Amino acid sequence: MAKRFPFSDFPSGWYVVGLSEELPPKGVLTRRYFDREIVLYRTESGELRATDPFCPHLGGHLGQARVEGDVLRCGFHGWKFDGAGKCVRAYGQNVPKTGVATWRAVERNQTLLVWFDARGREPTWEVPVIDPTGWTPFRFRKLAFNSHPQETSENSVDFGHFTEVHSFSKAWVVEEAVAEGPLLKATYGITKSFDLPKPLGQLGVDVTFHVQVHGLGYSYVQGEVPSLRIQYRHLILSTPVHDGRVHMRLATSVKKLPNPILTEMAHRMAFKGLCDEVESDMPIWEAKRYVERPVLAKGDGPIHKYRKWAKQFYPEAAA
Ligand code: FES
Ligand SMILES: [Fe+2]
C-alpha cells in the first residue's frame, strides 16, 4: 500500500508514552510506539527509566522483569541491569560485559516522555516544566486514530479551520506564529459560542490562547476566558504508534478559583471543550490527504512557515 504521508513516520522529538500515574515505584510497563516496544520502569526511589524490550542474555522480555532497588531484574534468569542498561549482576562474581539499549526518558507535567531520533542523536532541547502551583492537576484522555504528528500539530497554525470545524464564531490572530528552534508559538483570540435554551439563542465568550508547539509531539496551550475569570492549560500530545497511526493524549488543568466547586466546574468545562474540539478535528485528520503544494488564500494560517519549521524534525535534516 502506498505510504499516506510524504515524510517519514517517526520525526525526532520528545513523545509522551504514558502518564506518571500509570507507573508507580517498582512498576514495569511495555508500550508500543515508533513501531517497536519500549519497556518503562520506575525505580524504588521513583526514577523513570526506559529500555529496549529484550534481555541480551537469552532474550527474556524485560516487560516481565521486576525492579529491585534501582536495577531491573530479568524474569528469565535474574540478570540485573542498571540505569545505563549495563549488566551489573549475572549468577555470581563474573558479570558479563553486556547490556541493553536504553532510551532517554523524562517525566514532565504528569507525563512520561521518551526521546526518539531515528539516527540515535541525543536530545538538543526539552519540553517545558509547567509550574503546577495554584492549578488543578491535569486531567487526561487518550485517543487513537489514523494520522501523523505533523498533521495534527499543523492544526495550531491552520487558522482557516477555526471557524469552520470548531465552535468559534469569530477568530483573530493576536500574535503571528514565530519559530524559535524546536518551538513554534502563536497567540489567537476567538469568540466561542454556546447554545442557550430557546429562545435565548447563543452566548458568545471571548477566549485568548497562546499555543506553544514543542516539536511535533508536545503542544501546550495556555488560555483565558476573562469574562468567566477562567484560566486554563491544555496539553495536546501526539505520539506515532506505527505508520499512519497516532495516540493523542489530551489534558486540561485550570487555575484554582476561591471556591473548589467552581474550580471543578471550570475544569470540567475546559476539559470537555478541549475534547469536543479535538473530536471535531479527528474525522478530518483521519480522512484527509496531505497536499504537498496547497493553494492558499488570504485567511489561511502560515502553513508554509509551519512545514518549513517541521522539516528540522526529520532524520533527513542535517545532523
Ligand atoms: S534472558 Fe534475561 S537473564 Fe536470561
Ligand atoms: Fe482543530
CA distance 234 to 223: 8
| Atom of ligand 1 at shortest range from CA of 59 | 1
Measured in angstroms, how far is the CA atom of residue 166 from the centroid of ligand 2? 7
State whether the beta carbon of 32 lies less than 6 angstroms from ligand 1.
no
The residue whose CB lies within 8 Å of the most ligand 1 atoms, and thus the one to mutate among 39, 51, 58, is 58
Chain segment 228-285, per-residue pLDDT in tens: 899 999 999 999 999 899 999 999 999 999 999 999 999 999 999 999 999 999 999 9
Ligand 1 atom at shortest distance from the alpha carbon of 78: 3
pLDDT at 319: 45
ipTM field: 0.97
| Through-space distance between the first and last CA atoms of the chain, rounded to whole angstroms | 31
| Topology (CATH level 3) of domain 13-116 | Rieske Iron-sulfur Protein (2.102.10)
d(CA 202, CA 267): 22
pLDDT at 57: 97
Nearest CA to ligand 1 atom 4: 77
Q: How confident is the prediction along the chain (319 residues), in pLDDT tens digits per residue? A: 678 999 999 999 999 999 999 999 999 999 999 999 999 999 999 999 999 999 999 999 999 999 999 999 999 999 999 999 999 999 988 899 999 999 999 999 999 999 999 999 999 999 999 999 999 999 999 999 999 999 999 999 999 999 999 988 899 999 999 999 999 999 999 998 877 777 777 788 999 999 999 999 999 999 999 998 999 999 999 999 998 999 999 999 999 999 999 999 999 999 999 999 999 999 999 999 999 999 999 999 999 999 999 999 997 654 4
Residue boundaries of the structural domains of the chain: 13-116, 139-313
CATH number of this structure's domain 139-313: 3.90.380.10
pLDDT value of position 167: 81
What's the confidence (pLDDT) of residue 200?
Answer: 74
Q: Pocket of ligand 1, candidates 72, 79, 98: which has the most ligand atoms within 8 Å of its Cβ, to mutate? A: 79
Cα 280 from chain centroid (whole Å): 19
Q: What is the pLDDT of residue 316?
A: 64
